[in-house]
Amino acid sequence: MNKEKAVIVAADMITAYGFGIPACWDGIFSKKTAISRLRRFSTKAFQSDYAALINDLEYHGSESLVMQTLKKLFYKAAPKIPEDARLILATSKGEIDLLEKQLLEKRDDFSKCRLDRLLKKAAALIMVKDTGMIISAACASSTTALAQAASIIRAKRSDCVIVVACDSVTEFVFSGFSSLMALDKTYARPFDNKRSGLSLGEAAAFALIMSESRAKREKRKIMGKIAGWGLSNDANHVTAPSRSGSGLAAAINKALQTADIDYNEIGSISAHGTGTVYNDAMEMKAFSTVFGDNKCPVYSIKGAIGHTLVTAGLIEAIIALRSLKEGVIPPTVNLEEVDEDARGRVFAASCSIPKNKMALSTNSGFGGINAALILSEP
């Protein structure tokens, strides 16, 4: 059967480093973290007062943080998005700051905070005809959304899908992560032996995905291909990852199967790498299970831009594509002394990767959700 290939023809992002992919790429390579002191709300009672925030957003103003961010993101890009594109919006907390505002002002118009309302606003902003769908799979949401976009294209249900992801740092989210004791006191240090938690970050990003045949027909510049994808669940615990890493390993194996490749064809791994003790250890177990003695280099960008929740997977996929193009993987920012489990795989410095190999990008989230993508050059 002739399977349609899904290719990424456009993408962009806003992170704490600023607008655009170059700002994020250069920021990570500067090795200076974008995580800094948080002033948006009082953090006196919390585990940490650090986060990676986007500048110039108004908190509890007339518009939600994610809508302000999406407007910046699509200010120039929206007219270039084909109006027949199907829309997938990845979000978990959406416009949660509107709910905060309602409750703080002792009002009860909660309809404004519904996820389907955000979906309608996003569709109007991007100017697509499709009414769209929301995908939410905890911190694996945008990876899951990319997988579904590729699946839709492979099934020939559409030849053009836009995946948009957004979440913001609010008192709601920050207090919740603090209550779960998941935050590092200062900066997240993925794969470091003194890591003690994650740092929250906020971001928005999009990727325009087309069938390869349409992209070629329209003479689009192809950034890369979504060659494979795999989703799984640990079926283990609602907040903690499976200690064995078997769920993530299953997702990776599924992605290799979808891509119809052997693990030796993977040249780099963009890990979820949150900086929590259990997540990072679980990931190393999963990578060892799949890759054995093959020490494919692994990196995490969460020490640089924080854990951007649902947006993390999309940003990481875009950075992984840039990495394939440049032939170099980003440094793992804030890594000082690599954990024993990660030795020989994770490095504080950037390093070159072999040409003609593919990249693996993985994410995991609460509820034991795992998602893996395999990306290749055009």
Interaction of residue 127 with other proteins, rule CB under 8 A: no
Calculate ∠ Cα 270-335-198, nearest 5°: 70
Closest distance to other proteins from the beta carbon of 232 (Å): 6
Which region among 110-118, 295-303, 314-322, 354-362 touches other proteins (by CB under 8 A)? 110-118
Interaction of residue 369 with other proteins, rule CB under 8 A: yes
Structure tokens that stand for 272 in this block: 């979820």
Closest CA to 314 of 4, 11, 6, 9: 11
111 or 294: whose CB is closer to other proteins?
111
Closest CA to 223 of 212, 239, 233: 212
* Candidate residues 132, 245, 267, 303; the one interacting with other proteins per rule CB under 8 A: 132
Q: Do residues 161 and 13 lie in contact, with contact meaning Cβ atoms separated by under 8 Å?
A: no
Residues 45-64 binding other proteins (CB under 8 A) are 45
Closest distance to other proteins from the beta carbon of 352 (Å): 34
Which region among 49-57, 154-162, 289-297, 317-325 touches other proteins (by CB under 8 A)? 154-162
What is the DSSP secondary structure assignment for residue 299, as one 8-state letter?
Answer: E
The residue behind tokens 């609460």 is 366
**111: amino acid identity, one letter:** S
17 or 46: whose CB is closer to other proteins?
46
Residues 225-264 binding other proteins (CB under 8 A) are 229-239, 247, 250, 254, 257-258
Residues 278-337 binding other proteins (CB under 8 A) are none
Residue 154 burial by Cβ neighbours in a 10 Å radius (0-12, 13-18, 19+): middle
Contact map string, positions 90 to 109, toward other proteins, x by CB under 8 A: --xxx-x--xx--xx-----
Closest CA to 32 of 352, 357, 304: 304
Interaction of residue 137 with other proteins, rule CB under 8 A: yes
Report the alpha-carbon distance of residue 360 to residue 353 in Å, rounded: 13
The residue behind tokens 């192809």 is 222
Residue 366's CB: how many other CB atoms inside 10 A?
A: 17
Interaction of residue 37 with other proteins, rule CB under 8 A: no
Closest distance to other proteins from the beta carbon of 135 (Å): 6
Q: Are strands 224-233 and 18-19 parallel, antiparallel or unpaired?
A: unpaired
Closest distance to other proteins from the beta carbon of 350 (Å): 33
The residue behind tokens 């407007």 is 71
Contact map string, positions 169 to 198, toward other proteins, x by CB under 8 A: --xx--xxxxxx------------------
245 or 247: whose CB is closer to other proteins?
247
Interaction of residue 131 with other proteins, rule CB under 8 A: yes
Residue-wise DSSP of 265-292: GEEEEE----S-HHHHHHHHHHHHHHHT
The contact set with other proteins (CB under 8 A) reads 42, 44-45, 92-94, 96, 99-100, 103-104, 110, 113-116, 119-120, 123, 131-138, 141, 144, 148, 151-152, 154-155, 157, 171-172, 175-180, 229-239, 247, 250, 254, 257-258, 365-369
